[in-house]
Amino acid sequence: MAVKESTRATLARRVRRWFLPIVGVLVGVLVGLSFFTFGYANGSAYFGKDPQACAQCHAMNDQFTAWSNGGHRHVATCQDCHAPQDDPVAWALDEADNGFWHSLKFTFDAYPQNIKIRDKNRKVVQEACLYCHKDVVDKTEMTRDHSEGVSCLQCHSEVGHER
């Protein structure tokens, strides 16, 4: 019985001796790569409202050019339409989520040829439309019942990004 206890204690010491340093090194490498990628991709630019931040990535050139030609260029930036309004926690979570996917796709050059908006982001855009145009929408007689899931983007998909 004493031999088994001694073997367990020895094994536990070995695990403590090697496990924590290995985990520490791996965490350090992950944190270092994260900071490197954030710096290399000029990640801090995404915390502002300058549309040039979105144009940093060649995959967004068409969207940036389309926004530059659109009617909203004088009144709305990328953040105004593509980030939650008036809720800093929702904004930060949305930025973190989108930032993760953007940096992953940027790092591995995995952007599709035709960029498609995710359903989650489509909802954010819909809320942004209503945030700015609620008075107009409230006064407009809708041709369909709202319970059918009418979205501004069904009819106005090119307003922010004219083609």
**Model pLDDT for residues 10-40, shown as the tens digit of each residue:** 888 888 888 889 999 999 999 998 888 888 8
Closest CA to 150 of 160, 135, 140: 140
Q: What pLDDT does 80 receive?
A: 92
Percent of the chain with pLDDT over 70: 90
pLDDT band per the 50, 70, 90 thresholds, residue 54: confident
Round to whole Å and give the CA distance between 11 and 57.
50
Out of 13-17, 126-130, 131-135, pick the least confident: 13-17
Whether residue 85 has pLDDT greater than 80? yes
CA dihedral 78, 80, 83, 87 (to 10 degrees): 160
Q: Are 106 and 36 in contact (CB under 8 A)?
A: no
Q: How far is CA 85 from the centre of its chain?
A: 15
Whether residue 125 has pLDDT greater than 90? yes
How high is the mean pLDDT of the chain? 83
pTM above 0.75, yes or no: no
Round to whole Å and give the CA distance between 52 and 61.
10
Round to whole Å and give the CA distance between 105 and 120.
18
